[in-house]
Amino acid sequence: MCKICWSSLAALLLLGGLLGYRFIFQGDTLPLADGRVAIQLNDSERDLLLSEMRGFLATLQAITEGATGDDLALAANAARKAGIAAQKGVPVSLMSKLPLAFKQLGVDTHRQFDQLALDADQMGDADHTLGQMSRLMQNCVSCHAAYRIALADES
């Protein structure tokens, strides 16, 4: 009897561990022939992610304009909007589909925008701001090199 209990418990723990591994580390992903990983999202999740991305691009434009046009307040305000607070609206269902490394890169990018905003306000040094932007953009480059979106059948 107890032998059965123990084996069922072990099987359940194993299953729980595998599911946990899948959701925490892997997300809902598939390997692609070009070496990247496809994250499987539905339409609305993809739309949300891509609109955040277009926001990132607009932020970089505003930071460049501010840093080269002697208007670091413009750069700071744009960067702050892309800071960690911007991440609050992301639904848990989308979060659970993203691999851990992807989420870490995303969080680090938002944090770097916050730091850039703080320094732009406090230091007022355009070269420093542009250097921070260049470092931050390494995150854009490495995430795009590693991931793309695939539309999942479910919606």
The residue count for binding ligand HEC (CB under 6 A) is: 18
Residues 6+ apart with CB under 8 A from 77: 62, 117
Q: Does 149 bind ligand HEC (CB under 6 A)?
A: yes
Least separation, in Å, of the C-beta of 15 and ligand HEC? 29
Least separation, in Å, of the C-beta of 2 and ligand HEC? 47
By C-alpha distance, which of 29, 31, 53, 24 is closest to 41? 29
> How far apart, in whole angstroms, are the C-alpha atoms of residue 92 and residue 102?
15
Q: Does 135 bind ligand HEC (CB under 6 A)?
A: no
> How far apart, in whole angstroms, are the C-alpha atoms of residue 127 and residue 124?
9
Q: 137 to each of 14, 35, 108, 134, 143, how far by Cα in Å?
A: 40, 21, 11, 5, 10
Stretch that binds ligand HEC, among 26-34, 85-93, 123-131, 143-151 (CB under 6 A): 143-151
x-marked contacts with ligand HEC along 20-59 as a string, rule CB under 6 A: ------------------------------x--xx-xx--
Least separation, in Å, of the C-beta of 58 and ligand HEC? 9
Rg (CA), the chain: 20
Provide the greatest CA pair distance for the chain.
77
Stretch that binds ligand HEC, among 18-26, 73-81, 88-96, 141-149 (CB under 6 A): 141-149
Site residues for ligand HEC per CB under 6 A: 50, 53-54, 56-57, 60, 102, 105-106, 109, 137, 139-140, 143-144, 147-149
